[in-house]
Amino acid sequence: MADFGIQQALKELGLKEVNEGTSTGSHHFSHGKIIESYSPVDGTMIGKIRSTTKEDYEKVMETASAAFVQWRKKPAPLRGEIIRQFGEKLREKKEALGKLVSYEMGKSYQEGLGEVQEMIDICDFAVGLSRQLHGLTMHSERPGHRMYEQYHPLGVVGIISAFNFPVAVWAWNTALAWICGDVCVWKPSEKTPMCGMACQNIAAEVFTENNLPEGICNLINGDYRVGEFLTKDTRVPLVSATGSTRMGKIVAQEVAARLGKSLLELGGNNAIIVTPDADIKMTVIGAVFGAVGTAGQRCTSTRRLIIHESIYDTVKEAIVKAYGQLRIGNPLDENNHVGPLIDTDAVTMYTAALEKVVAEGGKILVQGGVLSGEGYESGCYVKPAIAEASNSYEIVQHETFAPVLYLLKYTGDVTNAIELQNSVAQGLSSAIMTNNLREAEAFLSVAGSDCGIANVNIGTSGAEIGGAFGGEKETGGGRESGSDAWKIYMRRQTNTINYTADLPLAQGIKFDL
């Protein structure tokens, strides 16, 4: 299979044959077992990285804690200058990092570039935010007193990220945490460790060039047992975790047991409602990209299409026709629309889901299947599938991280469609396709979508960094990226100043001596 410049990209990103998996700034040390990273694109081993032992982790925490003492004292606008430089490094290495993301994770090259652009965008957002970490000033009930609130850094922020966005989600958390004066310890997915090492190398360049202490940016590698170092550590006041609902429940319990804070971005079971007033062409574009983009491995992927009975056959025919035009293959070849799943375990879950929907009474409209032969040697390529189903099916109630789209029919008005959409345990992203203002407003109202993201006339995936990203119910309730999501990375403090010679008490209480 053609190289597509992968070897040059690895060189630009400072990746070696064997990479140290524990890193603090420019210093690397690891003593754990070797983790081999294989590309789902062609089955080739990309590189090796050492996992983090408990002893390694203790050295990381010691270095990170010491760095925090210095980093928090640096004025936020000056921290912003460091983030600006990091964003510039990302611009320089965008093509190389985008290729690595595509090759190690399997998403299309355009999506890989888009993920790096998200990193750049959150850096730009964070630079502006560095001069806006403001609190409120309040009037006191006591004469000669002033009240206000301010925000201070938390300390060491733990980040556990998933394979599907191997670099962007880390950057969402890290850029804001750095701006807030925190330092970070990151455990990337063991399925995409080379992307983590590449980001660490880029960040280390910036901190070294500015003579900043090691430990502001830290990397640890390994499986869930390495993640437990963070979740159980009282020195880590906040753990931000992205992944499955099952994983999130474990993290939430362990962090809560020590009264720490957790920021959870978990599973999605996202739907697009298609009303009689929908633009069919827009609907097809939004639904197809939402369902097959990243081979259905986004937490915001479109899983369900809830279509009004009056246009059901029209939409079904258009969607099925569009699927017939999809090209599946090497994601670095920009002629292809769909790349591989992350590994053969994901393929197994995909085939099990299709078997399950048929067993429950569903009808397959676009046949799925595992692809083999030339170009598909990794065994990770599958055909995007469509099935007619009922929202009550057990398989429809669960998230399958693969390109499987369920078509559901609704009758009556839009409130019935909204009820169907909300009748799942997850609550991340949602959308409605309609040119009817009343339907759109009903969808966005207090009685409308119960998801953290609700869109009108766009799909469920493709969030911008300016808005807070996250969901409700079993999606975890956390918020990352834009708006005021920065506040979770800081501790709030209320201050009252008495500038008189008297000491009046609140609520008019008298206490004379």
What beta strand segments (E) does 367-403 contain? 385-388
Which 8-state DSSP code applies to residue 326? -
Phi-psi region of 369 (alpha: psi -120 to 50; beta: other; left: phi over 0): left
CB contact set of 406 (below 8 Å; sequence gap of 6+): 303, 304, 305, 357, 362, 386, 387, 388, 389, 393, 396
CA distances from 178 to 86, 169, 225 (A): 11, 14, 26
Main-chain phi, psi angles of 448, to 5 degrees:
-95, -135
> Tokens 């999506």 sit at which residue?
111
Decide the pairing of beta strands 453-456 and 429-433. Answer: parallel
CB contact set of 355 (below 8 Å; sequence gap of 6+): none
Of the candidates 111, 214, 265, 439, the residue annotated as catalytic is 265
Which 8-state DSSP code applies to residue 457? S
Work out the angle at residue 358's Cα, subtended by the Cα atoms of residues 354 and 360, and round it to the nearest 5 degrees. Answer: 115
What is the torsional sign of CA 477, 481, 487, 489? positive
Of the candidates 123, 299, 380, 451, the residue annotated as catalytic is 299
Q: What is the number of alpha carbons within 13 Å of residue 375 lying toward its C-beta?
A: 12
CB contact set of 258 (below 8 Å; sequence gap of 6+): 232, 234
- In 3D space, the residue among 325, 327, 328, 268 whose CA is nearest the CA of residue 297 turns out to be 268
Cα(214)–Cα(217) distance, integer angstroms: 7
Cα(137)–Cα(150) distance, integer angstroms: 9
Which 8-state DSSP code applies to residue 361? T
CA distances from 102 to 114, 199, 299 (A): 10, 15, 17
Active site residue 265: yes
Active site residue 380: no
Cα(329)–Cα(337) distance, integer angstroms: 8
In 3-state terms the chain splits into helix, strand, coil percentages (rounded to 5) of: 40, 20, 40
Which amino acid makes up residue 173? N
Question: What secondary structure, in 3-state letters, does 34-90 show?
Answer: EEEEECCCCCCEEEEEECCCHHHHHHHHHHHHHHHHHHCCCCHHHHHHHHHHHHHHH
> What is the set of active-site residues?
265, 299
